[in-house]
Every structure is written in C-alpha cells, then in structure tokens.
Amino acid sequence: MLEQCRAGDRAAQEAVFSRLYPELRSIAVSKLFGAVNDPLVTPTVLVHEAYLRLVAGERLDVVSRRHFFASAAKAMRHILIDHARRAAAEKRGGRDHRVTWTEGLGAEFAGVAWLDLDRALGELAALDPRAHHIVELRYFAGLRVEETAELLEISTSTLHRDWQRARAFLHTRMSP
Amino acid sequence: MSQPDPDRAGDAAAWRQAYAVFGELLEMETAVRDRHLATLDLDPDVRAQVSSLLEAVVEDGPLDHLPGDRGAVDRPGAGTAPADPALDDPALADPAPVAGTKGAIAGWRLGEELGRGGMGIVYRAFRDGADFEQAAALKLIRTGVLGPGAMARFRREQQVLARLEHPNIARLIDGGVAADGNPFLVLQVVDGEPIDRAAASRSATVGQVVEWVQEICGAVDYAHRNLIVHRDLKPGNILIDQQGQVRLLDFGVAKLLDEDPEAAETTRVLTPGYGAPEQRRGGVVTTATDVYGIGAVLYRLLAGRPPEEAGSTPPSAVPGARAGMDGDLDNIIMMALREEPGRRYPSASALADDLACWQQQRPVSASPDGLGYRLRKLVARHRWAVVAGTVAALSLLGGSGVALWQGDVAQRQAHRAQASAEDARLQLARARAVTDFLVDTFRSASPAANEIEKVSAREILDAGLASVASAEGLAPDTRRNLRSVLGEIAFWLGDLDRTESLLAVNLESAQSPPAGDAEAVDRYVRDLRFAARSAFKRGEQSVAFERFEAALARVSEASLGEQLNVALFHASTLLGSGQADQAAARMETLIADGTATAGTVLQEAAVHGVLASAYEGLRRLEEGKQQAEKALAFFAPDAEALDSSGAERPAIERALYMSILARIEADLGNLDRALTLSREALATRLPVFGAQHPDILVARNDLATLLKNLGQFAESAAMLEAVLADQLATLGPEHPYLAYTRFNLGEAWARAADRAENPAATREKAIRAYRLAVDRAAVQPEAFGNAAVMFRGAYGHALARAGRVAEGEAEIRRALASVDDNDRTKPRLSVLLGALLNDRGHHAKAGELLGPVVASLATIYGEGSRAHALGRLEQGRALAGSDPDAARRALEDGLGALRSGPFKHQYAREIAIGEAALATVAPSADRN
C-alpha cells in the first residue's frame, strides 16, 4: 500500500491514513491517555513504533516515507486534538475553550493549548502549506530536522527558515 | 486578545500580508529589519502583526516543547565513556572549558579530567556522603548542545535512564543542570577495560567472547524492555570489569543529547565501523540498531576489525575465521548485521537464543539469504493479507444465481451448496494454518505482522514456487512440506493445474506413509484431500472419489482436525456431485457422535453450515434453516471468543452462513428476512473481497434475484447491469456466467416493463438481454444444459409480449423441439406456448396443449408449485370460453398458489391476467 503511494495515489495515502489512524489511536489511548503514564512513551515514540510495525524493516523510498509520516503526523494530531476536545467537553465549563492539559498526560503535554494550536495550525495551513507540513512532521511525528528536510526534499536551511516563520506565527496566534 | 480574528476575511488578508512581510524580514540581518519595516507602507494592523511575529521569533513558545521526541539517532559520538579515554572525532570543535564550573557541580566535587569529546568533558567526580565517598564520572555537556526547549526533556529522560538497574549496565547516578545552565550527567565509574582490549589481553576464546556477547544481549534486552535504545554500542562502551563481568556504558546517552529544533546543525558523528546502516542514512533508530551494534562488536572481537570501515561495503562473512568458529556463528553474525533492520534478529534476546543454540551445538535459526527468505518475509509481514488473499482467491463456481425456475432449483441448490459448503469449510482457518506452517517452516524473523500492505496470495505462491525450484540441498521432507503448502495455496487461488502438479509429486513420492509417523500421515491425507477436491473441480469426478477413498482409508490415523477437514471436504464434494443425501448423512453422523464438537469452534460451525447446504439441496428447508442458524449462533456477540487473532475472519465466515440462510429464507418465502441477511452478508464481504470477486458477483447476483422476487424489478435490473459490467471486466465476454446474468437481467427488465414509463423500450432491453443469453448458450449448449432451452423459451415469451408474436412462437417451438419428451423443462416451455396461444386467442389449442402439461407439472413439481400454478392459470384462461367452471377452478388454483407463495411480487403480472380472466368466469363468486 505504501508502495502504491509512490505513484502519488491520493487514495492510497488516505488508505494509509485510515489504517494508521485506528492503530495509532488504540496505542495512544492505552499508552498515552491510560491510567499509568510512561514518560518515555510519547506520541513520537508511538508514531515510530507504528512505523516499525507497519513497515517491518522494509526500506522505503523517500516518497513512501513521506506519505507515511505525513499520514502519521496527521493521525497523531487528530488523536491529540480529539482527546483535548473531549477533555474540554468533560470540563462542562463550555465557555473555556483554552484547554490546557495538566493531567492524563506526561509533563510534556501539560501547558499545551491543544485546541488553540489546532486552530492556529489550520490558519497556518492556509498561509504557508509547506511550513504547516513541516510543523506537523516535526511536532506530531517527531521527525528530526534532517529527516524532515529529506522527506520534503528541501534543504535544511530552507526548513529552518520555514520553521522559524511557522513557529513565530503559531506562537503569536496562540499567545493570549 | 484584541488581535484581529483571521477567521474574518479582512483579517485573513491582513495576516496573509503580515506573514509575507515577516518572511521577507526574516531573510535580513536583524539590524536591518527594523529599518526596513519602517520604510514599508503598511496598514497599522498589519504592522502590529508583523511586529508581534518578529517578537515571537525570539520568545520561548509552545512549539519549543515538542510533544515527543525520538532522540538523536545519529549521535553515537555523544558519549565519551568515562573509563574509555578514546576520544570522539578530534576534528570536532573542542569543547570550551566551562569557566567557573571547575570545582564543584550540584554537590559533586570534580577531580581529574578523564576525557573530552564532541559533547563535552568527562571528569572524575566525588560526592561526599555521610558515610562514604562516592566516586563517579561526571560528564559536563558543552554549552549550547542543548537548546532551551530540550532542557525539560533532558531532565525527565535523565530520570528515566537513572531507573535502569542491571548488573551489566553502568548506572546513571545523577544528572541535571549546573548553576551556570550547563547540563551534566553523573555515571557510575567502572574499573575495567574495553572489551576488545580485554579479549586481546586475556586471549579470549571464541566461546568466551560468545559468553560476553550473551551478557551484552541480556543487558541490551533489559534496556529495550524499558524502551531505551543504546544506539552507540561499540567496544569502547563495553567494559570488562575486574570481576570479568561485562558492563555497558552510556545507555541512551546519545538520545539524551538529542538536538533541539532551534539548535545548530547536528554534528553527525558515527563511530566508524559500528554505526548501523540506518544511522548512516539518518534513518530511524530502533532496537534493531542495537542488535546491529552487538553484531558489530562480535564481529570485531572475532575478525579483529569492525565489520565496516568507512565507505566499504557490508561484509558477507567474517574473514579470517578463528579456531572454534564455524558457519553457524558466521550466519548468526551476518544476520545481526543485516542491512535491513527488519531482517535482523527481532530482539537482542533472539540473538542471545541463537548464540545459546550455537553453544549447545543445536541448529541456529540464522541462515544465509535465499531459500524461503521471500516467503518468510511476505508471510510474516502479511499474515492477515495471506488469509484475506486466500479467501479472495476462492472461486465460487456454483450459485451463479441463475433464477431458473423451480424445476432447476434442486440442481441449482446442489451446485451452490457445493460452493458454499466449501466456503463454510474453514477456508480461512485453513489459510491461517497454511500461513502458520510457512512461518514455522521458515522461522519468521519478523514477529510484527504488517497490516497495512496487502500482498496477494499469488505473489506468495510464486515466491514459494521460485524458492522450491531454486533451493539446493533442501531436505526431502522440507521439500514435501513446501509442495504440500504451496499446493494448498494454489488450490485456494483456483490454480488447479498447479495444485495437481505439486500434490501429485508428493503423492507419488510418498506412496503411503508409515503408520507411526503422525505428521507424515497428516500431510498425506491432507494432500489427498486437496488433490481430490481439485480433481473434482477440474471435472474429474472419478479421480476425485478415488482420492477421497484413499484419504478415508488412512484418515483414522490423522489428527482430529484433519479428520474433520476430510469429512467436510468429502461432504462438499458429495453435495457438488448431486449426493446431498450422503453429504447430509456424513454431517449428521459427525454431529451425532460428537466429533463435530471436538474440533475448533469454526469447524463445528462449518459442519452445521455444510449440513444446512445439504438440506437446502434436499429441499428440507426448515431443517436447513435450523442448521444455518446453528452455524450462525457460533458468531453471536455473546458466543465465546472464536478467534482472538482477527475479527475479520469470523465476520466473513458468519457472512457465508448468512448467505446460506438468506437463500433458504428466500425459498421459504421469507423474502424480507432474506433480503436483510443478504445485504448484511454482502456488506461484510464486499470490503474484503472487492466488488469484482467471483464470490461477490454471485452474492450481488443473488441479491438482485431477491429484489426481483420482491417485485423491485428496476432495482434488480440496475444491480444486474452493474454485475454484468464487472463480469465483463473480470471474466471476459465469453464466460458462460455472463449468459446467466443476462438471462436474469432479461427477467428483471421484462417484469419492470409493466411499470416502466416507457414499456416498449424496457421490453426491448429485456429482449436484447435474453437474446445475448440465447446466442451464447447456442454456441456451447452442453455447458448450459436445460438452461439453454429455458433461455430461448423466455426469449420467445418476451418477444411475444412485445408484440412480435410470430417470432416469439417460433422461438418457443424451437426450444420445445430441442428437448426430449421426458425433459423436466418441456412442460414449462409448453406453458409459455400456452400463454402465447391464449394471448392470440387460440384458446382451444391452448386448452388442448395444457391438459396433459398441467398433469405432468403436478407430477414433476407438485400441486401448488410455482410451475404448476402458472400452468393452471393458463389452463384456466384457455378454458374460460368453453368450460367456465373448470376454468374458474383452474384460475382459483393457480391464483391461490401464486398469491400465497413467495413469488407473488414476481408474478404480479400473471396474477393480474389471471384475475382478469377469473372476473369473466366467476360472476357466481360475486353473487355468493
């Protein structure tokens, strides 16, 4: 299936996503949102675990990996945001949309205003799709700079510039 | 807070502009930015936005704390082993001596410098405890290595690392951030020497080296279970202490020092010769990276040099084999050093296990690439897909869903029963067993089944055939097993020629296995079973039953599972050859003597499924329904878990039994229930098999037939058109199934015509569909049997109804002329002729014709049957003018049967015609 993605087959990419999403979700729910938090289990770890499981050692070319990680980042973003949204709903406060996690997730997650981030990312996607893509890959799939640059077939300096722009924009849009 | 909301169009435009300006400014030197911004003519809002963006560049923000990190995958140079003065690449920037830190850090008193490297300096350090002085190695991380965002992570992970407690792992004692902001780590000091030097100084034997490496494996495995990857295993990080114990240093330290997104470019320092291929590529680091590292260390210890000097190609064997080394150990090392992480040992403990095998001179699992590799890889990764693909490959030959009339029902049911019974017969369980077998045979290296990719079973088959053909020196028994398994896969794929050739070789070479060899007997019986079934499908019935006889002669020595499978296959074949009674008897015996319950739950369900099909063929519909429901009960939500390995499997088997039940319900006249069941069954199977799979085409055809029976003619026709298109695409234009579908389509359009907006055009569609069916059958009448004449009869009937009476009559007469007098279809064709004569007003002729016809219909199909009812109805019409009383009785008979039966929707038109005729002869009924 990943190989089909190579041909740029959008449908196949969506298929990857739809296979990946439930998989990641189920791991995420048990490992990230479960009663016992292992601080070592981060969304990134999960994405890579999923990668290893799904790819099973196959060496994928850059296009296939791009599809995988793009899908995985998107899936992880959905999972985290969805969780935040549900947590928000449970708060019953209703008006407070700025949900900040302080429990249920490791320290790394506390303090992130997920719904704000999601909204700001949506805005960024409209302004600067590539930067948005970079943020997703870096932030939700945990790819390193080089990996991200390699996947997107851009130089690291371009990536740094994009990242800088995106970062500033998101911070601005998320700050109170 | 007062910021413009980009949701509003104007603000979105403002942000767009601000973002663009901001992007340009970023390209400039900081000093120039403000000046340039001042010169720009900007809307105040935009200007404010640009300023806030510029400010955000330097502020710490939420994105600086990534929700997760995988760590530095390529920082093996990070850790300078405290006791290993070997330094990292000296070309790297010398870490600036950290001013003001010398002396003490967070309670640790610094001693002499032990080493320095790319990441910092290592000092001997002491902590004054209440009772003792603890010596340790303190690693001071170079300022700037960690970005501000990574600091929190550093603290957290360092705590995790501190939890690693293993006798073979040097502990991380402390760590944190010094007063001046520099992070530091404190590690247990190990008195010992690097393993390569220890091996040399102690003249270690191969056996000693392997023992050490096993200890390494144990420590690494422990860390892996704690989700920590070392990622920099090399002799310098592995010490042999004074007690001769292995001690691993710097666990996970490389990851701890992971880069920050805002930090400077990564310095990719790999320890030459030891970095795994994925590290050199900048790929993902996993536990397999450490497996490579262990392999590399072992290689180094045995070969005297690391496996890979920079730039060289991967090694293919350990050179300069030392005394005590052999091919197995070589294979073990090569497996650990495989280029693709997924093809190495799945874990450090698996590597240790194989080393233990080597120590005990047992066979090791590592083997050179080649034989079985592709198979193993495919199967291990596509366990589920193999199952699905195998199922998908099942071709359902029967049940083409031809809605011929009742006379053919028994034959049709038998035909279908053959197919569905086989379905029911654990196609999936078998496929899974095949898969398991393959996996076992080739000892899969990859336990994680890949669920995302699907590889067709045919690919696996081809790969397997290729490896059987090319494998040299394969044990005869392995070869037989392989042929056996491949033969089965070929069978499920419908590649019967291959099944035959593969299994025939086995059956010839292994004449009759000795009585004591249970495994050989099992295989022998299984081969016979598949060979028999395959022969049957190829039309060699006598060969098939000979083989079954041979299988049955030995089956009592086979495993219980195999016994049940033979019984199920045999019964399916009996069903397919028209011996539904014997098939039923076999299944009844299995149930009566308790054998059915002794197998797996799925086998037990299959016994009931086959029996349901057999009863269906025997027209014992109520009993069939009971059995189908019994089969389905195993799949009820509250039933005990069928199989934990895959929900899809039971779902699909359940769907098979549902479709059997649907057909029985349809025949019982419970059309609504049948429709519900059919739809659900189809919905379950469709995503697995795909719309064009033969099974699915049959199911869609059946569903269309049901719709027709429910009077939903246009819907039925639309569905059949789609089926036809898919059949054309998958089967080609010449396939006989197309003729059946066209016939069904003709039926649907012919009946839809009465209600269509444009009846004439719809009748033409019907005529065209029938015509194509007739023409196809005429080319190869022996392949169609009775169906061919029924096609022609229906065609003539449709022509007549469309006003082309003479043509129609000619066709019907031609059909009649082509069948024997004692053919079951003859009276039905005669009814069509009678109807035509009635339509033309030739009632006397019709009456004359129909008298004996109705009598034989009653004999063949029974009074009250659909065929008989239709005959009575036409007879009534014929007699209306001459004998009103006889006519009324005939019409009331026919109408009564049609109205109360499951066909009342389908025969709405005949019922209307009959009612009109009845009105002319039954005024007395009104008076009553």
Indicate if the pLDDT at residue B894 is higher than 90: yes
CB contact under 8 A, B284 and A48: yes
With CA atoms as reference, the chain A residue closest to B281 would be: A147
CB contact under 8 A, B56 and A169: yes
Give the pLDDT band of residue B589 (cuts 50, 70, 90): very high
Question: Considering CB atoms only, which of A39, A142, A146 is closest to B156?
Answer: A39
Q: Which residue has the higher pLDDT, B514 or B428?
A: B514
Give B550-554's long-range contacts (Cβ < 8 A, gap of 24+). Answer: B551/B525, B554/B512, B554/B513, B554/B521, B554/B524, B554/B525
Specify the DSSP class assigned to residue B341. G
For B68, phi and psi rounded to 5 degrees? -160, 165
Based on the fold, state whether residues B558 and B685 are members of the same structural domain: yes
CB contact under 8 A, A45 and B70: yes
CA B63 to chain A, closest CA, distance in angstroms equals 7
pLDDT (0 to 100) of residue A89: 60
Q: Which residue has the higher pLDDT, B755 or B315?
A: B755
Based on the fold, state whether residues B789 and B920 are members of the same structural domain: yes
Give domain status of residue B301, yes or no.
Answer: yes
Q: Between residues 330 and 389 of chain B, which touch chain A (CB distance below 8 Å)?
A: 339-344, 380-381
**C-alpha dihedral (B476, B479, B485, B486), degrees to nearest 10:** -150
Indicate if the pLDDT at residue B425 is higher than 60: no
Size of interface A-B (CB pairs under 8 A): 171
pLDDT (0 to 100) of residue B479: 67
pLDDT (0 to 100) of residue B274: 76
CA A89 to chain B, closest CA, distance in angstroms equals 22
pLDDT (0 to 100) of residue B870: 93
B15 touching chain A per CB within 8 A: yes
For B572, phi and psi rounded to 5 degrees? -60, -40
Indicate if the pLDDT at residue B797 is higher than 70: yes
Cα(B323)–Cα(B822) distance, rounded to whole angstroms? 88
Q: Consecutive 10-residue runs of chain A (176 residues): their mean pLDDT?
A: 44 58 62 48 60 54 67 73 65 38 37 72 87 84 77 84 85 74
Please report residues of B whose CB lies closer than 8 A to that of A61: none
Cα(A155)–Cα(B572) distance, rounded to whole angstroms? 64
Which of B281, B298, B363, B380 has the alpha carbon at shortest distance from B334? Answer: B298
For the ranges A163-172, B16-25, B61-70, B898-907, which has the lowest average pLDDT? B61-70
H or E element in which residue A166 lies:
helix A156-174
Which of B270, B578, B267 has the alpha carbon at shortest distance from B398? Answer: B578
**Average model confidence (pLDDT) for chain B?**
72
Which of A69, A70, A18 has the alpha carbon at shortest distance from A48? Answer: A69
Residues 6+ apart with CB under 8 A from B170: B187, B188, B189, B190, B239, B247, B248, B249, B250, B251
Give domain status of residue B319, yes or no.
Answer: no
Percent of chain B clearing pLDDT 70 (strictly above): 67
Give domain status of residue B453, yes or no.
Answer: yes
With CA atoms as reference, the chain B residue closest to A150 would be: B282
Beta bridge partners of B239: B194, B247
Based on the fold, state whether residues B134 and B216 are members of the same structural domain: no
Q: Which residue has the higher pLDDT, B329 or B676?
A: B676
Give the pLDDT band of residue B363 (cuts 50, 70, 90): low
Based on the fold, state whether residues B542 and B606 are members of the same structural domain: yes
Indicate if the pLDDT at residue B665 is higher than 50: yes
With CA atoms as reference, the chain B residue closest to A65 would be: B283
Based on the fold, state whether residues B563 and B476 are members of the same structural domain: yes
CB contact under 8 A, B16 and A127: yes
Based on the fold, state whether residues B162 and B218 are members of the same structural domain: no
Please report residues of A whose CB lies closer than 8 A to that of B266: 144-146
CB contact under 8 A, B448 and A53: yes
Give domain status of residue B829, yes or no.
Answer: yes
CA B152 to chain A, closest CA, distance in angstroms equals 8
Give domain status of residue B30, yes or no.
Answer: yes
Give the pLDDT band of residue B452 (cuts 50, 70, 90): very low
Q: Which two tokens stand for residue A137?
A: 């890959």
CA A90 to chain B, closest CA, distance in angstroms equals 22
* Alpha carbon separation from A4 to A12, A63, A70, B393, B418 (Å, rounded): 6, 10, 15, 21, 37
pLDDT (0 to 100) of residue B68: 39
Output the domain CATH number for residue B544.
1.25.40.10
Question: Considering CB atoms only, which of A39, A117, A150 is closest to B282?
Answer: A150
Indicate if the pLDDT at residue B291 is higher than 70: yes
CB contact under 8 A, A171 and B282: no
CB contact under 8 A, A145 and B266: yes
With CA atoms as reference, the chain A residue closest to B17 would be: A127
B781 touching chain A per CB within 8 A: no
Please report residues of A whose CB lies closer than 8 A to that of B284: 48, 51-52
Give the pLDDT band of residue B120 (cuts 50, 70, 90): low
For the ranges B365-369, B504-508, B580-584, which has the lowest average pLDDT? B365-369
CA A29 to chain B, closest CA, distance in angstroms equals 15
CA B56 to chain A, closest CA, distance in angstroms equals 5
Place of tokens 């041909």: A7
Q: Which residue has the higher pLDDT, B7 or A152?
A: A152
CB B26 within 8 A of CB A165: yes
pLDDT (0 to 100) of residue B902: 74
How large is the ipTM? 0.73
For B183, phi and psi rounded to 5 degrees? -75, 155
Based on the fold, state whether residues B486 and B571 are members of the same structural domain: yes
Beta bridge partners of B120: B117, B141
Q: Which residue has the higher pLDDT, B904 or B518?
A: B904
User: What is the β-pairing status of strands B183-188 and B133-141?
Assistant: antiparallel
The range of the structural domain enclosing residue B94 comes to 67-189
With CA atoms as reference, the chain B residue closest to A62 would be: B283
Give domain status of residue B597, yes or no.
Answer: yes
Which of A169, A58, A21 has the alpha carbon at shortest distance from B283? Answer: A58
Output the domain CATH number for residue B204.
1.10.510.10
Q: Which residue has the higher pLDDT, B629 or B484?
A: B629
Give domain status of residue B367, yes or no.
Answer: no
* Alpha carbon separation from B847 to A153, B9, B351, B917 (Å, rounded): 85, 83, 89, 14
Considering B189, B210, B232, which residue would you say is the last residue of a domain?
A: B189
Give domain status of residue B2, yes or no.
Answer: no
CA A53 to chain B, closest CA, distance in angstroms equals 6
Give the pLDDT band of residue B671 (cuts 50, 70, 90): confident
Based on the fold, state whether residues B619 and B514 are members of the same structural domain: yes
Beta-sheet strands, E only, within B663-808: none
Based on the fold, state whether residues B55 and B107 are members of the same structural domain: no
With CA atoms as reference, the chain B residue closest to A13 would be: B452
Based on the fold, state whether residues B921 and B790 are members of the same structural domain: yes
Residue B494 — left, alpha, or beta (φ > 0 → left; ψ -120 to 50 → alpha)?
left
Cα(B51)–Cα(B711) distance, rounded to whole angstroms? 72
For the ranges B526-535, B703-712, B775-784, which has the lowest average pLDDT? B775-784
Query: Which tens digit of pLDDT belongs to each residue from B689-746?
Result: 667 766 677 788 888 988 888 888 999 999 999 988 888 877 778 777 788 889 999 9
Query: Which tens digit of pLDDT belongs to each residue from B238-249?
Result: 989 888 889 888
Based on the fold, state whether residues B681 and B759 are members of the same structural domain: no
B151 touching chain A per CB within 8 A: no
Query: Which tens digit of pLDDT belongs to each residue from B374-419?
Result: 344 444 433 333 333 332 222 221 222 222 222 233 333 333 334 4
Query: Which tens digit of pLDDT belongs to each residue from B211-228?
Result: 999 999 999 988 877 767
* Alpha carbon separation from A57 to A150, B280, B353, B417, B767 (Å, rounded): 19, 16, 21, 44, 58
Query: Which tens digit of pLDDT belongs to each residue from B533-544?
Result: 888 877 788 899
Based on the fold, state whether residues B673 and B757 are members of the same structural domain: no
- How many domains, in total, are found in chain B? 5
Give the pLDDT band of residue B763 (cuts 50, 70, 90): very high
Place of tokens 């579908």: B741
Considering B142, B158, B189, which residue would you say is the last residue of a domain?
A: B189
Considering B22, B41, B59, which residue would you say is the last residue of a domain?
A: B59
pLDDT (0 to 100) of residue B586: 92
CB contact under 8 A, A56 and B380: yes
CA A131 to chain B, closest CA, distance in angstroms equals 11
Query: Which tens digit of pLDDT belongs to each residue from B844-880?
Result: 999 999 999 999 999 888 888 888 999 999 999 999 9
Please report residues of A whose CB lies closer than 8 A to that of B341: 52, 57
Output the domain CATH number for residue B157.
3.30.200.20
